Structure 1
Amino acid sequence: MALPTASLLAPGRVVPPAPLPAAEVARAAAPFGQSTMLPRGAYQDDQVLAWEREHLLDGWVCVGRSTEIAPKGMRAESIGRSGVLLVRDADGALRAFENACRHRGHELLPCGGSSQGTRAIVCPYHAWSYRHDGSMIGAPGFREVPGFDTSLYSLKPVRVEEWHGWVFVDTSGQAPDFGSHIGQLESVVERYDADALVTPVVHEYDVEANWKVIIENYQECYHCPSIHPELCRVSPPDSGDNIELEGNWIGGNMDLRTSAATMSLDGHTEGTVMARLDEVESRTVMYVAVMPNLLISLHPDYIMSHLLTPISPDRTRIRCSWAFPAEVVEREGFDPSYAVDFWDLTNRQDWAACEAVQRGMKTPSYEPGPLAPSEDGVYHFTQLMARAYQGQQA
């Protein structure tokens, strides 16, 4: 089996090993068929999550969909150890800044908050103000202060990229260029025209499980016959293949049964197959985990994405969105519930299983177990994590 070519650590960056037993990490990094899951502490310890926030969650991280930031709008997100302010000007240009006023560091917008139609960025504490490009406009009481130079107090920029309707930021400033991060995933996603889709439904879940437990669950259907009878009716759980291409992502596809047009409770669709998909894409669902926090499910007629935000070692906030072609959403009587209801049920089945895993790992004698032959997708993920925990960059 080929290993993932990507690294979760930026090249040339000196990173200490994670605070985990080296021997246990080495067992997780062993060849497929000999390896175990990651050490218990990877899912349980505050110090490990702090290490991840410092070294893994400060590179290219997804913060949402492009449509969530309208022209002359702002949105603030918590990323890794800090906050990011996303700002779109009247011409549609998107910029990102550290979410801190240059005066006393007050957040310019509460994390998770948004605003529309803003003429300027104004700190709510002392009203220091900034243009949409981050340059300072002025500060109350400083007009007559000798030597006060507004050009010295622009907001601190953060690297930002829009890719097929998703927004990514790099708070470290040290990650490789975004094209290298995505790699050959571009060829997998491009024909879905995701940047033109409309998102009419968003659900938010708080899951009492570590963020990695959720990604590992996403990477296999070994569990599907046990907990997903509805999914198994429309997609054979042993179908499809994992894809091994360059980039900081892992994933694979699953087939639709001949009786099913898409993933819904009865296999029917209220939409249409996206215009540029080929014969294989129109009969499969592609599941992709873009490291470290975006899960994308590419269906013939819609795209579902999960945005993961670690809150604590045993709690993850998930923002799940369903996106459809605009002409489908605008159709009279269109009802997205055929897709939403199916995945809301499936999501909740998964979250219950992930929470049970999280609780089970707390038992006194728990030891990481081996991977089943069909869990090669999980192995790809644990290999990426084990190499990162060891401080390896490739």
Structure 2
Amino acid sequence: MSEAKMNPMHELSDNVAVPFEQARAMPPSVYTSTEFLEQELDKVFRQDWLCAGRSSSLPNPGDYTTMEIAGEPIMVLRDRDGSLRAQSNVCRHRMSTLLEGRGTVKSIVCPYHAWTYNLDGSLRGAPAMMHNTAFCKSEISLPTIRCEDWKGWIMVALNPDATPVGEGLAEVDALIGHYGMENYVESFCETHRWNTNWKVLAENFMESYHLPVCHAGTIGGTVDLEKMTCPEGRPAFNYHWILKDNTMPLTLAHPNNTHLVGDDRNKTYLLSIYPALLITLTPGYFWYLSLQPDGPDHVNILFGGGLAPEFRDDPEAATHFKALKTLLDEVNDEDRGCTEKVYRGLCAKSAEPGLLSHLERPNFDFARYLNAKIQGEG
């Protein structure tokens, strides 16, 4: 094998330089290489918009959540005037992280020396600093990070020059804006860590070719491979849709839903917002994954979901939610088993990428997106 072929960046470029009709899965080195991961962190995760969850999960001033992007600790909170704000989660004194997990605070207090910040990041107080003549409280504040509320999603970007979310994802709104995704109500949000590469999980979401087998115990029987549509992806996302039958009422539009008509009443969209927000949107419910790599071999997952307004307002809402959560937990367990097996296989010396089905068109589009980013073309 040539030196160029040994380089995962070159291997990926070769991989996407063919027509889709001849496409193969991405080479193993793209998943297992620490060198490639560093390129992803620098040219993908530090550049594009990432999701911190649903904005409805932070309804009140002081409500917060935390995340980490490419090693950078970040907090997102609702400030005093009701706006979403993202800022560094690192104290400006001795650099301890400040907040953990999710919760509600009246102010931000460092757990190390009690330096205290207002919700807008300005320094409120710092004990025993009166003898340092260079100290000026008014000059110290937590660095601000870009944050936008896009259709109910909290989107955060380290890159100050990233294209505004609404502009970059205008085609998503044109595609599924009539579903009213911003009005769906989150019912749960959890964090998980799986022993697989983040791209394996992303690709698993992007294709429904695996549903009849991997999900034979849950949703596999509700889909027909012959009725799946996988259009060519767009620069900022890919998508496909499935027409569901009536065996699972939650996947269909509620009788009180009057704005969805025709096939849209039983059409499920699977949206992959690059690089790492994965959304399943049905007329009755939604669920999502927001991914962060944790080394080549692990992925940290924000996993949430909820109901369309009509199901949330239904007298049987509690029953609907219980049924949804039970289903999603079972589907998640099936996906974990499949994706962890794929990563183990990728690490084998005998691993070799196979040819893609027409139902894996989104995977090829994702590979092209990654290649463009890594090569500095996107």
Same fold (TM over 0.5): yes
Report if aligned partners of 1:29, 1:387 keep a CA contact under 8 Å in 2.
no
Q: Distance in 2 between matches of 1:360 and 1:354?
A: 10
Counterpart secondary structure, 1:76:
strand
Gaps of 5+ in 2: 1-5
Report if aligned partners of 1:130, 1:138 keep a CA contact under 8 Å in 2.
yes
TM-score (norm 1): 0.85
Q: Is it true that 1:64 corresponds to 2:53 in the alignment?
A: yes
Q: Distance in 1 between matches of 2:113 and 2:258?
A: 51
Q: Is it true that 1:257 corresponds to 2:245 in the alignment?
A: yes
Q: CA deviation at 1:174?
A: 2.7
- Residues 159-308 of structure 1 mapped to structure 2, 5 A cutoff: 159-229=146-216, 230-244=218-232, 246-257=234-245, 261-263=249-251, 274-308=257-291
Aligned to 2:88: 98
* Number of residue-to-residue matches in the alignment: 368
TM-score (norm 2): 0.89
Report if aligned partners of 1:286, 1:297 keep a CA contact under 8 Å in 2.
yes
Q: CA deviation at 1:223?
A: 2.1
Q: CA deviation at 1:90?
A: 3.3
Q: CA deviation at 1:32?
A: 0.9
Q: CA deviation at 1:322?
A: 2.0
Counterpart secondary structure, 1:242:
coil
Q: Distance in 1 between matches of 2:314 and 2:306?
A: 14
Greater helix fraction, Structure 1 or Structure 2: 2
Among candidates 19, 23, 47, match of residue 35 of structure 1: 23
Gaps of 5+ in 1: 1-17
Cα deviation per residue 1:175-203 (whole Å; 9 max; x = unaligned)? 22222332310223423333333222334
Q: Is it true that 1:50 corresponds to 2:38 in the alignment?
A: yes
User: Which range is displaced more, 373-382 or 328-337?
Assistant: 328-337
Report if aligned partners of 1:32, 1:379 keep a CA contact under 8 Å in 2.
yes
Q: CA deviation at 1:259?
A: 5.3
Relative to structure 1, the CA distance from residue 332 to residue 196 in structure 2 (aligned partners, 3 Å threshold; closer, same or farther) is same
Aligned to 2:347: 362
Counterpart secondary structure, 1:184:
helix
Among candidates 10, 13, 32, match of residue 25 of structure 1: 13
Report if aligned partners of 1:183, 1:247 keep a CA contact under 8 Å in 2.
no
User: Which range is displaced more, 344-353 or 157-166?
Assistant: 344-353
Among candidates 132, 140, 145, match of residue 153 of structure 1: 140
Q: CA deviation at 1:143?
A: 4.1
Q: Per chain length, whose mean CA-contact separation is higher, i.e. which structure has more relative contact order (CA < 8 Å, sep 6+)?
A: 1
Q: Distance in 1 between matches of 2:11 and 2:197?
A: 22
Q: Distance in 2 between matches of 1:23 and 1:342?
A: 39
- Residues 341-380 of structure 1 mapped to structure 2, 5 A cutoff: 341-380=326-365
Q: CA deviation at 1:296?
A: 0.7
Cα deviation per residue 1:48-92 (whole Å; 9 max; x = unaligned)? 222211221122111111133242222221112211111212331
Aligned to 2:72: 82
Relative to structure 1, the CA distance from residue 85 to residue 202 in structure 2 (aligned partners, 3 Å threshold; closer, same or farther) is closer
Report if aligned partners of 2:230, 2:362 keep a CA contact under 8 Å in 1.
yes
Aligned to 1:15: none
Q: CA deviation at 1:377?
A: 1.7
Cα deviation per residue 1:311-331 (whole Å; 9 max; x = unaligned)? 221212323222114563354
Cα deviation per residue 1:327-386 (whole Å; 9 max; x = unaligned)? 633544431132222332222222211111111111112122221233212111111122
